[in-house]
A and B are shown apart, each in its own frame.
Chain A
Amino acid sequence: MKYLIPCVALLLWGCASPHAARQEAGLPSGSSGSDGSVVVQPGAPGASTRVFESAEDIELQRPPHTAADTHFMQGMIHHHAQALEMSELVPERTARRDVRMLGKRIHVSQASEIALMRDWLERRGEETHAARMHMPGMLSAAQMDELQSASGRDFDSLFLTYMIMHHEGAITMVRDLFASPGAAADQIVSEFATDVDMDQRAEIARMRAMLANN
């Protein structure tokens, strides 16, 4: 999506406007606010500073979001939803307290992240449900069945193995997002994706250690 730049934004660039930006030279000082304050935009280092008539219209525009952003958020909801399903299996199938705590933690954090992603999509008028898609690291139906029917140490081993794979998939999704042209300029997407990347890397390290102790 291209940037939409209404004239209020172009004001900063001197487009034809009753409030055309004025250059530094020849301006009386302290003239841009009714209260004696000034509104300025410094240029690049060494360049001159622009002064504005009025701050009223200097509103930054909504940061653009790209199809890749939308696809990432939709896909990650789908991806997280499977992690919820997987972690909901834990309490009845494991004997390990640390695995139970891990499952609970994954459930709590990913459920609140799903709320964040839905909120982001709804505000931008995007669908919260993507067409059926297979995201990296997601379990096949057969693998989900396998996990469902396991218990005890076998379950722990499968759960940890599959959740590591699942998390690695999420990290791949973040990498792909950041590699998409113009993607993640949106602050929420950028911070969220960075958090997913860091949190899930940390969880993978922990799960590998737990797997070694199984």
Chain B
Amino acid sequence: MIKRTITSILALLLFGTMLMAPVANAQDAASASSDEAPAAPAWEWDANDPRIGLAPGIENAGEAIRNLIHAAHLPRPPGFTLEDEAEGGRMSNTDLAFRGNLLFLGNYGGINIYDISDPSNPSLRTSIVCPGGQGDVSVHGNLVFMSAQETRGRLDCGVEGVEEDVSPERFRGVRIFDVSNLDRPRQVAAVQTCRGSHTHTLVSDLANPGRVFVYNSGTSRVRPPEELPGCSAATDPEEDPNTSYFRIEVIEVPLIAPETARIVGAPRIFEQDGNIAGLWQGGDHGEGTQQSRRTNQCHDITAYPELGLAGGACAGNGILLDISDPANPVRTEAVVDPNFAYWHSATFNNDGTTLLFTDEWGGGNAPRCLGSDLPTWGANAMFKRRGNEMTLAGYYKLPAPQTADENCVAHNGSLIPVPGRDIKVQAWYQGGVSIFDFTDPSNAYEIAFFDRGPISTTERLTGGYWSTYWYNGAIYGSAIVRGLDVFTLTPSEHLTQNEIDAAMLVIVDEFNAQNQMRNEWPVHVSVAKAYADQLVRAGVMTDSERSALFSAIDQGNASVLEARATVLEHSALASLGAGDTGHHNTTRVRLAEQLRGLASGG
């Protein structure tokens, strides 16, 4: 019991300190970047990076890969391709969601469902034809949610579009399908919205598992009120306080009766001092800074229900929402960044202490990873969160330059659940996939990558990865033109086999990148060894100490493990006492917890 108490006190000390220390540094960084024009940091890259100079092609492009295995590739299925790819995006693959052994791949023309029982051999199970773009998908139980924004979208999923400017047949909003029978998915609801649905966020209601919420982010033009009553295209609230801009829609979906899904709120989350257009007004932040879009919409929102929080990437601002009452999200913080053109998406680290935002400079169709582009533009910005305060801590951008033929900018990704570290796998369109560590957000670094050459050097084509997510042990990439890819991690100096094995222990029933669930690790030999590997990497444990510890773990003698846990706790305490607030103290405490768990037969 006494030992447990030491652990708790240590944990308290550590987490308290951990939260304080980096914030002070981050504030310096934030004020430096807002007070002066960002000095162009030396954007240096490894001239021998194999991503440079890859040959072009759709299915035969040159490839570069590091610390990954490319386990599978499937081109888009029949019916979801265009003869002339240059037509532009009408059959683009888009976002991904997962449930059990199924992968749901959105497309501007519908949804393709794959069986991934064997991740290295995915097979197409069901194609749902239902155009409307961009086909952002989520899944919960037997319900699949899909965003539609284009004016050609039809209520009946028809492909022929809608000719009239005002028509009851047009659909722009959030569709809900029942896929309990994979041979006959049915559309059970279609919730119309004024600006359609560009992305949506499934939000679990932890207090009431009988319902879910969907936060809708519409970014397209407002439809006429004759088509959907109440819609107003006024671009300023002075023109019309009921404008359809400056809001999101909150949709409630009762799981027992999804056909009754409806909008239950349209919160004015940008309101400030009574002005619903109260946040960033558009424009740059001073000389030499980026021009940020006006905040009249969110592009994407990521909920973290266990924290009661959501991060919103909303055109000109990054915002924090209190979603402890998920029906009524309330903004508690808004930040700007002089390097951001368009706040695009958000990802929390597992502890919720860091919030990573992406900047989709150029909208995704432009080559924004050139060697001449600032590495702080079109990048990720990492903010430390303390309560409702967010402070800039650092940036990460794909560390290999891409050509002018490759559309490239920060895009969608997810955490890889390596215990003790914040690691993300992220899509960069034609920049490929990059896996990086942002445990210390002021010193993010790359761990692994995969990249292909340009789709074409003669035609202007938008392609590359829309999303790359970790799901139950593998990485899945949705490539806009080329199809579906699957990868697995291989160990390297930046990531050990124990850390990979520990990540593989996190198995979830469902995965929706924008409805973040806390990753939890069992007491397990791999988890303990992963922490030990991290202490060696941090330089606070020697190789021989690790070998001895691994022997003790493998032998499983309870009293030996307990003794080692105590030693670790004391080192953490001593280190803290000496003013060292490094992350390795936390790792020591977590390792000690694992050892005690193993000792008690966990």
Contact = CB atoms under 8 A, between A and B. Distances in A.
A40 B221 contact: no
Residue of A35, A49, A181 most packed against chain B (CB within 10 A): A49
B83 interface: yes
Contact of A42 (B88, B187, B281): B187
Interface stretch (A75-83, A158-166, A186-194): A186-194
B580 to A, nearest CB: 45
Nearest to B367: A112
A202 B294 contact: yes
Contact of A40 (B127, B190, B284): B127
Contacts of B90: 60, 62-63, 187
A132 to B, nearest CB: 28
Interface stretch (B51-59, B129-137, B324-332, B377-385): B129-137
Interface string B203-216: 00000000000000
B190 A12 contact: no
A214 B89 CA distance: 44
Contact of A41 (B91, B130, B292): B130
Nearest to A33: B124
B161 A64 contact: yes
Contacts of A9: 159-160
A115 B188 CA distance: 43
A1 B331 CA distance: 46
A120 B87 CA distance: 9
A43 B157 contact: yes
Interface stretch (A50-58, A86-94, A134-142, A143-151): A50-58
B184 A51 contact: yes
A35 B152 contact: no
Contact of A195 (B188, B294, B363): B363
Interface string B285-303: 0011001111000000000
B159 A202 contact: no
Interface string B146-161: 0000111001111111
A202 B219 CA distance: 16
B contact patch SS: loop
B117 to A, nearest CB: 13
Contacts of B497: none
Contacts of B184: 24, 29, 40, 49, 51
Contacts of B78: 54-56, 58
A7 interface: no
A203 B291 contact: yes
Contacts of A191: 363
B220 A190 contact: yes
B324 to A, nearest CB: 32
A190 B183 contact: no
Interface residues of B, number: 66
B192 to A, nearest CB: 11
A55 to B, nearest CB: 4
A185 B221 CA distance: 11
A38 interface: yes
A37 to B, nearest CB: 4
Interface in B463-509: none
B271 interface: no
A42 B283 contact: no
Interface centre among A38, A112, A119 (most CB of B within 10 A): A38
A198 interface: yes
A97 B287 contact: yes
Interface in B105-163: 108-109, 123-131, 133, 150-152, 155-161, 163
B235 interface: yes
Given A55-B79, A59-B83, A190 B163 contact: no
Interface in B48-88: 77-84, 86-88
Given A41-B158, A105-B291, A203-B291, 5 more contacts: A40-B128, A42-B186, A115-B460, A195-B363, A201-B294
11 contacts: A3-B163, A40-B185, A41-B158, A42-B185, A54-B78, A56-B78, A58-B159, A62-B84, A185-B152, A187-B89, A194-B220
Interface of A: 2-3, 5, 9, 12-13, 24, 29-30, 33, 35-49, 51-52, 54-64, 97-98, 101, 105, 112, 115-116, 119-120, 123, 178, 181-182, 184-185, 187-188, 190-191, 194-195, 198-199, 201-203, 205-206, 209
